[in-house]
Amino acid sequence: MKEQSQILAELIDKSQFIVFFGGAGVSTASGIPDFRSATGLYNRENKTNYSPETMLSYPFMLSHPDEFYAYKRENLHYPDAKPNLAHLALARLEAQRPETTIITQNIDGLHQAAGSKNVLELHGSMQRFYCMKCGRDYPASLVWEGQGVPHCPACQGMIRPDVVLYGEALNGRVIRQAESAIRRADLMIVGGTSLVVYPAAGLLHYFHGDNLVLINRDETPYDDDATYVFHDDLGEILDQAIQ
């Protein structure tokens, strides 16, 4: 691990534009489960006859809003989750290198909670909600502390999370910003992601810089394309590499 961290530290020292691309594995150390591992959200038993993919879809939100919000509150709300070593190390990196960009597939807001500012959220955030009818923004507390389906006090429209559900397209502006950051990067660090979810995983094709580093406990489809592959603990590697 120390050798891996030293390699990464040296790559960071000689790089100017750094991109970190992360997935659910970034937040597992904070107590937030991933989706596809043996203990992940998609392999958990639930009390309904629907799959998690169905319950996290746009059509299901519209047709079964009560069940949609019950599932969200039970499975996607982690009020006690705090930034872990990986989040904190990346915040230090941005403080040292303001050109650093974090691209995340996560919706938990922990990068911002750690202090990172230049964060591109590919799938949105469960920290933001808005009315589907009038567009007013609402704090997450209105939804999490309530019961049933939240409605806008102003127009009675349904309030929804500012996340990309199954059946919805990614935000075009965020995708373009991510593509631009990756094209410019001379070092790209990919961590905590299986790189099987598209179109997000396809963003790696825009990287033409000097070094691609993959840090993930399991193998990914991009391992053969990387300069370095570390199958070890993401948080510890980043914490030791970024002082």
Per-residue pLDDT at 131 exceeds 90: yes
Percent with pLDDT over 70 in the chain: 95
Task: Assess if residue 222 is contained within a domain.
Answer: yes
CA atoms of 119 and 138, how far apart (whole Å): 21
Q: Is residue 221 part of a domain?
A: yes
Same domain, 235 and 192: yes
pLDDT grade for 200, boundaries at 50, 70 and 90: confident
Residues 173 and 116 in one domain: yes
Same domain, 71 and 87: no
Q: Are residues 61 and 174 in the same domain?
A: no
Whether 84 has a pLDDT exceeding 70, the answer reads: yes
- The answer as to whether 134 is a domain residue is no
What is the percent of the chain with per-residue pLDDT over 90, rounded to a whole number?
A: 81
Question: Tokens standing for 5?
Answer: 């961290």
Q: Is 55 a residue whose pLDDT tops 70?
A: yes
Residue pointed to by tokens 């806008």: 152
Other C-beta atoms lying within 10 Å of the C-beta of residue 133: 14
Q: Are residues 109 and 181 in the same domain?
A: yes
Contact 214, 188 (CB under 8 A): no
Rg (alpha carbons) of the chain, rounded to whole number: 18
The verdict on whether 123 is a catalytic residue reads: yes
Q: Please indicate, yes or no, if residue 227 is contained in any of the structural domains.
A: yes
Q: Hey, what are 15's tokens?
A: 């790089």
What is the rounded end-to-end Cα distance, in angstroms, of the chain?
15
pLDDT tens, 210-219? 999 999 988 9
Q: Which CATH number fits the domain that encloses residue 208?
A: 3.40.50.1220
Domain membership of residue 145 (yes or no) is no
201 pLDDT above the threshold of 90: no
- What dihedral do alpha carbons 134, 139, 111, 172 form, nearest 10°? 0
What is the DSSP code string of 129-193?
Answer: EEETTT--EEEHHHHHTS-SS-B-TTT-PBEEEEE--BTSPPPHHHHHHHHHHHHH-SEEEEES-
Query: Does 38 score more than 90 pLDDT?
Result: no
How many folded domains does the chain comprise? 2
The answer to whether 239 and 9 have CB atoms below 8 angstroms apart is no
Cα–Cα–Cα angle for 234, 200, 61, rounded to 5 degrees: 105
- Spatial contact of 16 and 210, defined as CB atoms under 8 Å apart: no
Residue 30's pLDDT is 97
Cβ atoms of residues 192 and 25 within 8 Å: yes
Shared domain for 64 and 174, answered yes or no, is no
Measured between alpha carbons, how far is 42 from 159 in angstroms, rounded to an integer?
25
Domain that holds residue 226: 2-32+83-123+169-241
Confidence at residue 24, expressed as pLDDT on a 0 to 100 scale: 92
pLDDT band at 132 (very low <50, low <70, confident <90, very high): very high
- What band does 36 get if pLDDT is binned at 50, 70 and 90? low
pLDDT of residue 70: 92
In a domain, 157, yes or no: no
Residues 222 and 173 in one domain: yes
Tens digits of residue pLDDT in 227-237: 999 999 999 99
| 70 and 113 both lie in a single domain | no
> Does 115 map to a domain?
yes
**What pTM value is reported for the model?**
0.93
Q: In the 8-state DSSP scheme, what is residue 213? A: E
- Give the pLDDT confidence of 148-175 residue by residue, as tens digits: 999 999 999 999 999 999 999 999 999 9
Residue 137 lies in a domain: no
Average confidence (pLDDT) over 99-105:
97
pLDDT of residue 159: 97
pLDDT tens figures, 4-14:
999 999 999 99
Do residue 181 and residue 235 come from a single domain?
yes
Q: Lay out the sheet containing 228-230: strands in order across.
A: 119-121, 101-104, 18-22, 187-191, 211-215, 228-230
56 and 14 assigned to the same domain: no
In this structure, the answer to whether residues 10 and 45 fall within a common structural domain is no
Same domain, 228 and 185: yes
- Residues 77, 87, 123, 151: which is the catalytic one? 123
